[in-house]
Amino acid sequence: MGSKSRSRRDLLKGGALAAGAVAAGTTVDSLTSITPASAQTPAGAAPELPSYAANSAPQIPVSPDLVSYGARSHYVKSVRIQEDGRAPGVLARYNDFGLTLHIQTPLQDSIGTIQASSLHYCATTKGSFVPDIDPDHHKLMIDGLVDRPRIFSMADLKRFPSVTRFHFVECIANSANITHKTVQQTHGTCSNAEWTGVLLSTLLKECGLQEKATWFVAEGAEEVKGASTLPINKAMNDVIVAYGMNGEPLRPQQGFPVRLIVPGFEGIFNIKWLQHIKVVDQYQLNMNDFGHLRREETTASLGYTWGPKSIITFPSGTQKLPEHGWYEITGLAWSGNGAVRKVEVSTDNGQTWHEAELKGIPLPKAHTRFGYMWKWEGEECVIMSRTTDETGVIQPTRQEVAKALGVPYAPNFRPPGTNNSIMPWKIAKDGSVSNGIV
């Protein structure tokens, strides 16, 4: 090794790499130990970097389409998939993409915390077609137990003070297919985005909420009118009537032109193509409530919130570690109770836990990316992560959930409501990763 490359190594050792590793609670011996052999510059040799000079190498032609609306590189292949049925390989109820059903986001390829709008998961409870709504003609009616029933146009909604917040949306069906192979199949019915809109509390104050109000029913504009009943205190807390997503209007599959974002609650409450909000004084069973949620009024709203949850996205099911050495175990953590306080990673099947580095400031009811630097020596092992949220609640193991419910534990155990249990991934001696439950 020439002195030039050694000094570069020392610089990196004392600098960015070492700092990152210390934050993650590990030590890095040298650059060689963390950098794959294939990525190192041979000593003394001038680096050969490909050139993309005009006329001599591939170029992306500038088309009017690319001028008006950009596109990702054709080298990037990550795509959503239609959710499998409960048995692997069996497609869920509606197998026509014209009818939206459960479409899962490719979490294994996710970067950072925001899901690109084109890759956001998508769910429609009763398999209706996506309505093609002209925003200039769309109306949102608020009536029921209010002093001044109102009908708002999209332009009306945009005249109120707006909020812009990051929140996850997660279908109750997420983690239902917990024994499937990939993280997209087991956890891909959850995404995080930046939502912009007006707080529902602002609109309800405008309409004059009456004292008897205890619940509200929110209804979509589509054929089957997805509707849910929600507690009025949630409406007055942090529910958003959202028209913006990731810097542009909502996508049709996400409820264009306007939807509810109900932070931390089960996905089904985030009513898309929002058309009608009726304020009422008793719990009502609607299309989405019936057969999906607990039907007993006093306990109904208690089970609406997602507990602390996390999932390792790399390395995850069907991926492969190419060689021994350093890797960043990374994934997403969130909680419907508030912000993530701590994420821990175990590489020995839950016997010992190490605090992971949180990437950025954890936001309430939103995804937080975590990372943990780990040196894999080729041993067979089980890796997993767990979240503690700001209320102090810790993500449970699957066995703990079964015990709390008083049912015997089996690998295919599925809790009846929200499933926020710890997900293990198994790493074999050859580096291949598989579902750690089965």
Ligand X SMILES: Nc1nc2c(c(=O)[nH]1)N[C@H]1C(S)=C(S)[C@@H](COP(=O)(O)O)O[C@H]1N2
CB of residue 236 to Mo ion, shortest distance in Å: 24
CA-to-CA distance for 113 and 368, rounded, in angstroms? 6
Identity of the residue, 124 or 421, whose beta carbon is nearer to ligand X in the bound complex? 124
User: How many chain residues touch Mo ion (CB under 5 A)?
Assistant: 4
Candidates 263, 267, 338, 436: give the one binding Mo ion (CB under 5 A): 267
Identity of the residue, 154 or 271, whose beta carbon is nearer to ligand X in the bound complex? 271
Q: Which of residues 232-271 bind ligand X (CB under 6 A)?
A: 253-254, 267-268, 270-271
With contacts defined by CB under 5 A, name the span among 31-39, 153-161, 262-270, 378-386 that binds Mo ion: 262-270
Q: Enter the tokens of residue 280.
A: 């009422």
Establish if 177 lies at the interface with ligand X (CB under 6 A): no
The DSSP-derived string for 6-65 is HHHHHHHHHTHHHHHHHHTT-----HHHHS-GGGSPPTTPPP------TTTS------HH
What does 195 interact with, of Mo ion, ligand X, none (CB < 5 to 8 A by kind)? none
CA-to-CA distance for 151 and 243, rounded, in angstroms? 16
Rg for the chain, CA atoms, rounded? 24
> What's the one-letter identity of residue 3?
S
With contacts defined by CB under 6 A, name the span among 30-38, 114-122, 177-185, 312-320 that binds ligand X: 114-122
CB of residue 312 to ligand X, shortest distance in Å: 22
Establish if 268 lies at the interface with Mo ion (CB under 5 A): yes
CA-to-CA distance for 34 and 298, rounded, in angstroms? 55
User: How many chain residues touch ligand X (CB under 6 A)?
Assistant: 20
CB of residue 266 to ligand X, shortest distance in Å: 7
Candidates 220, 264, 308, 415: give the one binding ligand X (CB under 6 A): 220
Identity of the residue, 28 or 171, whose beta carbon is nearer to Mo ion in the bound complex? 171
Residue 413 · residue 402 · CB < 8 Å: yes
Candidates 123, 200, 258, 345: give the one binding ligand X (CB under 6 A): 123
Identity of the residue, 127 or 149, whose beta carbon is nearer to ligand X in the bound complex? 127
Establish if 188 lies at the interface with Mo ion (CB under 5 A): no
Q: Enter the tokens of residue 3.
A: 């002195």
Identity of the residue, 267 or 364, whose beta carbon is nearer to ligand X in the bound complex? 267
CB of residue 105 to ligand X, shortest distance in Å: 9
Dihedral in degrees, nearest 10, Cα atoms 393, 178, 104, 226: -70
Q: Which of 382, 325, 386 is nearest to 356 (CA)?
A: 386
Candidates 17, 21, 142, 171: give the one binding ligand X (CB under 6 A): 171
Identity of the residue, 226 or 362, whose beta carbon is nearer to Mo ion in the bound complex? 226
DSSP 3-state helix, strand, coil percentages of the chain (rounded to 5)?
Answer: 20, 30, 55
CB of residue 268 to ligand X, shortest distance in Å: 4
Q: Where are the beta strands (DSSP E) in 171-263?
A: 190-199, 215-220, 227-231, 240-245, 248-249, 259-261
- The edge-to-edge listing of strands for the beta sheet with 122-123 is 81-82, 102-104, 122-123
Establish if 229 lies at the interface with ligand X (CB under 6 A): no
Q: For residue 69, give Cα distances in angstroms to 62, 65, 420.
A: 11, 6, 38
Dihedral in degrees, nearest 10, Cα atoms 301, 103, 314, 250: -80
With contacts defined by CB under 6 A, name the span among 12-20, 71-79, 204-212, 218-226 that binds ligand X: 218-226
Q: Which of residues 108-127 bind Mo ion (CB under 5 A)?
A: 123
Identity of the residue, 227 or 268, whose beta carbon is nearer to Mo ion in the bound complex? 268
Q: Which of residues 260-319 bind ligand X (CB under 6 A)?
A: 267-268, 270-273
121 to 160: interface string for Mo ion, x by CB under 5 A: --x-------------------------------------
CA-to-CA distance for 315 and 359, rounded, in angstroms? 17
Identity of the residue, 31 or 169, whose beta carbon is nearer to Mo ion in the bound complex? 169
CA-to-CA distance for 235 and 217, rounded, in angstroms? 11
Q: Which of 321, 310, 349 is nearest to 432 (CA)?
A: 321
With contacts defined by CB under 6 A, name the span among 115-123, 316-324, 339-347, 365-373 that binds ligand X: 115-123
Distance from chain centroid for Cα 232: 26
Identity of the residue, 168 or 314, whose beta carbon is nearer to ligand X in the bound complex? 168
Residues at the interface with Mo ion (CB under 5 A): 123, 171, 267-268
Footprint on this chain of ligand X (rule: CB under 6 A): 120-126, 169, 171, 220, 222, 226, 253-254, 267-268, 270-273
